[in-house]
Amino acid sequence: MVYRAIGLMSGSSLDGLDIVFAEFQEQGGQWSYELIEAGCLPYSADWKTRLSGATGLSARDYLLLHSEYGHYTGQQINAFIDQFNLHYKVAVIGSHGHTSFHLPGQKMTAQLGDGSAIAAVTQLPVVSDLRALDVAFGGQGAPIVPIGEKLLFSGYDYFLNIGGIANISAHTDAYIAFDICPANRVLNLLAAEAGKEMDEGGAIAASGTIHHGLLGQLNALEFYRQPWPKSLANDFGTDTVYPLIKGAGLTLADALCTYSEHIAIQTAEAVMAIQQQGKKENSRLLVTGGGAFNDHLLQRLDAHLSQLGVTTILPDSGLINYKEALIMAFIGVLRWRQEYNVLASVTGATRDSIGGALWTGQEG
């Protein structure tokens, strides 16, 4: 069977709305894919402010934003379909939404972007609220991309995504994955102090010096001592990590250098923890997400991971940028097929689940 789908991803770094159009083929239980079209639509300053401030809204204003962002997302999809002449080619849309609240300990997670609004605007089937059922089953609701890594990719032992939050996946006796630490969300907050959207290539960080006092404080944060499954909300980076860095009174270069080292160390710690489940020699780690373009961070990752017998692999830029959106499209396809698309071994839920609310936007 062949399925053509659109996938949407809005990450915590607020870079923009990632959209992909991909084809998935299932033959004898084996899946393959082709990433056909992709793009990132940067958020305006207004949308960045509204999305980042959503958790402070009243219930009424939050729900109004939820609806408005859903309509906005649908309009962007329609423009994407027009741009690449995809009319009558899309079977289903998998929409992650933009995470606002994530409280799995209280069995609640919320992503902005009303799926019914997207379906109404596009008049296509839409799968949204991808994490909700897993959280209801007692899971972390994250990471959810491992189902795509398991079924679409082979030849890698680890998958590292460096977005607003860095997360890792691995296949041992069971498939496991968890959030490592805040990444681009904090790095970009620091770079903004110099009027930059990001530290391009990690150039500022490379000019700095590691502050070992701050590094020790960061590495001592309680989250890093928790066993998996575990996941992070955006406010851990903005409300806990960022103030800790600012309190150290460092230059921007030293702050970026120190936090980059923190990300590299915590990634290595995560790999070491996974290796205790069964170490593989000459392991391969696939790096995706915006952080894969941070040369300084990649050098520090290589320095730590090479000592563990792990080689970092950078794929083509399309997969680096759009792997998560690609997998959102795939999760939508699996939901459409009524097949499991969230793994309990990853999230800690009581069972695997077929996650996502399905909204039928087309006429019968």
Domain boundaries, the chain: 2-141+325-359, 147-319
Number of H helices, E strands in the chain: 14, 12
120 touches 361 (CB < 8 A): yes
Please measure the distance between the N-terminal and C-terminal CA atoms of the chain and give it in whole angstroms.
22
pLDDT, tens only, 301-349: 999 999 999 999 999 999 999 999 999 999 999 999 999 999 998 889 9
Kindly tell me the burial class for residue 278, based on how many C-beta atoms sit within 10 Å of its own C-beta (0-12, 13-18, 19 or more): exposed
Number of neighbours of residue 114 by Cβ within 10 angstroms: 25
| 211: three-class secondary structure by DSSP | coil
Sign of CA dihedral 142, 145, 146, 147: positive
The pTM of the full predicted model, rounded to 2 decimals, is 0.83
pLDDT, tens only, 187-212: 999 999 999 989 999 999 999 999 99
Between residues 210 and 172, the one the model is more confident about = 210
| 90: three-class secondary structure by DSSP | coil
Same fold, 2-141+325-359 and 147-319: yes
- Does pLDDT of 364 surpass 70? no
Does the domain made of 2-141+325-359 have the CATH classification 3.50.50.60? no
Q: Give me the pLDDT at residue 303, please.
A: 97
* CATH architecture observed for domain 147-319: 2-Layer Sandwich (3.30)
Fill in the amino acid letter for 263.
I
DSSP state letter for 227: P
Query: Distance between CA 139 and CA 154 in Å, rounded?
Result: 26
Q: Tell me the residue ranges of DSSP E strands in 43-125.
A: 92-103, 108-112
Q: Is the bond leading into 182 cis (omega within 30 degrees of zero)?
A: no
Q: Buried b / exposed e across 10-25, counting CB within 10 Å, b at 16+? A: bbbbbbbbbbbbbbbe
Query: Distance between CA 48 and CA 46 in Å, rounded?
Result: 5
pLDDT band at 11 (very low <50, low <70, confident <90, very high): confident
Query: Distance between CA 38 and CA 326 in Å, rounded?
Result: 9
Number of neighbours of residue 109 by Cβ within 10 angstroms: 24
Helix axes 295-305, 252-275, angle to 10 degrees: 40
pLDDT, tens only, 244-283: 999 999 999 999 999 999 999 999 999 999 998 876 778 9
